[in-house]
């Protein structure tokens, strides 16, 4: 499968919870992560590829 992107924006605690839920629910290989801040809001961008289970 190709590259995919997840973008999460909000207050730090909300973003942390959302990213943790995402990573706990899927097996992914995170290729790049970027973070930016604007005021009290943070944006986290993950570039990832989903791992395929071995048969």
- Using DSSP's 3-state secondary structure scheme, residue 41 falls into strand
Tell me how far apart the 2 most distant CA atoms of the chain are, in Å.
47
- Asked whether 4 and 50 are in contact (CB, 8 A), the reply is yes
CA separation for the pair 22, 9 (Å, rounded): 14
- pLDDT for res 1: 62
Closest C-alpha to 16, from 8, 24, 4: 8
For residue 47, give Cα distances in angstroms to 10, 29, 53: 18, 9, 19
Question: pLDDT tens digits for 1-55?
Answer: 689 999 999 999 999 999 999 999 999 999 999 999 999 999 999 999 998 776 5
| pTM (predicted TM-score) | 0.83
């Amino acid at each position: 499968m190709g590259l995919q992107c997840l973008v999460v924006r909000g207050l730090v605690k909300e973003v942390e919870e959302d990213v943790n839920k995402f990573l706990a629910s899927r097996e992914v290989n995170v290729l790049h992560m970027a973070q930016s801040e604007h005021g009290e809001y943070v944006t986290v961008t993950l570039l990832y590829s989903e791992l395929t289970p071995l048969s």
